């Protein structure tokens, strides 16, 4: 079955993502499926995710840009808006999606979500409750998970 040509919009967005990369965000399409991206997001400074690099996967469905991209975390993360399977609760990935948004804006919004967890609109209920009951302790746990699952081992790769 022949793969239909990639829409011009997706080609342009991909080129710009690579040529004019956003600091702390890396997105690269799979060679055999140009709608499917491997994404790395660096944990924002001053957040419990600082020092971590989080892997995500992103897919542009057939209906894109009329439908939003599908994105999820592959790296385990302790965050009230991200569930155990890495699914993300973010309005622009659902009802607030607009075709004027792009892959870039989606990834920036996810990076911003790491800086500003929102326990009032939770996806992971137990994590959100923890955040509300004892924010300091929840943040400490998020930091611990970052070290355990997402830390870039700089010394080991000699940077």
Partner 1 sequence: MAKVPRNFKLLEELEKGEKGIGDGTCSYGLSNGEDIFMSDWNGTIIGPPGTIHENRIYSLKLYCDDNYPNNPPIVHFISRINLPCVNQHSGKVESSRLSCLSQWKSSNSLEDILVDLRREMANAVNKKLPQPPEGSTF
Position among 61, 94, 121, 147 found at the interface with partner 1 (CB under 8 A): 61
Q: Decide: is 35 part of the binding site for partner 1 (CB under 8 A).
A: yes
Tell me the closest approach of the beta carbon of residue 71 to partner 1, in angstroms.
10
Q: Decide: is 66 part of the binding site for partner 1 (CB under 8 A).
A: no
> Is 89 a catalytic site residue?
yes
Q: Which of 39, 60, 88, 89 is catalytic?
A: 89
Segment 89 to 148, residues that bind partner 1, using CB under 8 A: none
For the four alpha carbons of 95, 71, 109 and 8, in that order, the dihedral sign comes to negative
Position among 25, 41, 60, 150 found at the interface with partner 1 (CB under 8 A): 60
Q: Decide: is 33 part of the binding site for partner 1 (CB under 8 A).
A: yes
Give the separation between CA 58 and CA 69, rounded to whole angstroms. Answer: 7
Output the six-digit token pair for 70: 């599908």
* Residues engaged in binding partner 1 (CB under 8 A): 3-4, 30, 33, 35-36, 57, 59-62, 70, 72, 74, 76, 84-87
């Amino acid at each position: 079955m022949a793969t239909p040509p990639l829409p011009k919009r997706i080609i342009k967005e991909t080129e710009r993502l690579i040529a004019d990369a956003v600091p702390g965000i890396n997105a690269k399409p799979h060679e055999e499926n140009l709608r499917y991206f491997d994404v790395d997001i660096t944990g924002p400074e001053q957040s419990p995710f600082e020092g971590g690099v989080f892997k995500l996967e992103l897919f542009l469905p057939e209906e894109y840009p009329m439908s939003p991209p599908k994105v999820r975390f592959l790296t385990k993360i302790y965050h009230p808006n991200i569930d155990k399977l890495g699914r993300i609760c973010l309005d622009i990935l659902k009802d607030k999606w607009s075709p004027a948004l792009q892959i870039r804006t989606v990834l920036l919004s996810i990076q911003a979500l790491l800086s500003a967890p929102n326990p009032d609109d939770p996806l992971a209920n137990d994590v959100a409750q923890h955040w509300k009951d004892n924010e300091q302790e929840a943040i400490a746990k998020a930091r611990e998970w970052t070290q355990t699952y997402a830390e870039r081992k700089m010394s080991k790769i000699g940077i």
